[in-house]
Chains A and B, each alone.
Chain A
Amino acid sequence: DIQMTQSPSTLSASVGDRVTITCRASQSISSWLAWYQQKPGKAPKLLIYKASSLESGVPSRFSGSGSGTEFTLTISSLQPDDFATYYCQQYNSYPKFGQGTKVEIK
């Protein structure tokens, strides 16, 4: 089974900060990686697919990069609405999520 490891688990940041979250796969998944945002009590929301493609309607301050085993989600200027938990998911085979990264207010 492919394992997905996100870092950090928690990230404290301020509005306007540039934020980067990393997701590592235990083996190569090419670019078959998605990122989701989840707020408390809500369903996950798709942000990025195929490692770097922005889902329609998602603000351009979100971007994704990487391929193979290492990927990043970057928020260029953190906004109040962005405080949430972020998950990566590999879809090379068998849907597998990372453990999540909580972005909290510093």
Chain B
Amino acid sequence: EVQLVESGGGLVQPGGSLRLSCAASGFTFSSYAMSWVRQAPGKGLEWVSAISGSGGSTYYADSVKGRFTISRDNSKNTLYLQMNSLRAEDTAVYYCAKPSNGHYYYYYMDVWGKGTTVTVSS
């Protein structure tokens, strides 16, 4: 069974940092680009960042560019999102998602994790 399990969310003060993880199983992780998508309370879905299967290419939404860093460890089948300089507007559920076509990070996402909640507040 293909599965994605996020962890690492929590309460952090504005300006603080947090690292999210996503453990993948049931598919050849290194063959797939991966994405993070977030959803602020009561709001819609927003794509945040993506990384190629090799990890050599990364992509970011303008709203997080320069503050967030996506990475992966293919030996551990794990995706990461390092979030620095956090703001109140980063408060959201963060989902890890797998595109149906591993070569294209922007493809539709056929597998999603259950999400991890990040709250930025003093």
Chain A interface (Cβ within 8 Å of chain B)? 34, 36, 38, 42-46, 49, 55, 87, 89, 91-100
Contact = CB atoms under 8 A, between A and B. Distances in A.
Contacts of B115: 43
28 contacts: A34-B108, A34-B109, A36-B45, A42-B114, A43-B113, A44-B45, A44-B95, A46-B110, A49-B108, A49-B110, A55-B110, A87-B44, A89-B108, A89-B109, A91-B108, A92-B106, A93-B106, A94-B47, A94-B59, A94-B106, A95-B35, A95-B50, A95-B105, A97-B44, A97-B46, A97-B47, A99-B44, A100-B45
Contacts of B35: 95
Nearest to A99: B44
B78 to A, nearest CB: 18
Contacts, number: 52
A93 B115 CA distance: 24
Given A87-B44, A87-B45, A100-B44, A95 B106 contact: yes
Interface in B1-55: 35, 37, 44-47, 50
Contacts of A43: 95, 112-115
Range of interface residues on B (Cβ < 8 Å): 20 to 34
Interface in B92-114: 95, 100, 104-110, 112-114
Nearest to B114: A43
Main secondary structure on A side of the interface with B: loop
Nearest to B109: A46
A86 B82 CA distance: 29
A100 to B, nearest CB: 5
Nearest to B35: A95
Nearest to B59: A94
A95 B59 CA distance: 11
Given A46-B110, A49-B108, A95-B37, 17 more contacts: A34-B108, A36-B45, A43-B95, A43-B113, A44-B95, A44-B109, A89-B108, A89-B109, A91-B104, A91-B106, A91-B107, A91-B108, A94-B59, A95-B47, A95-B105, A95-B109, A100-B45
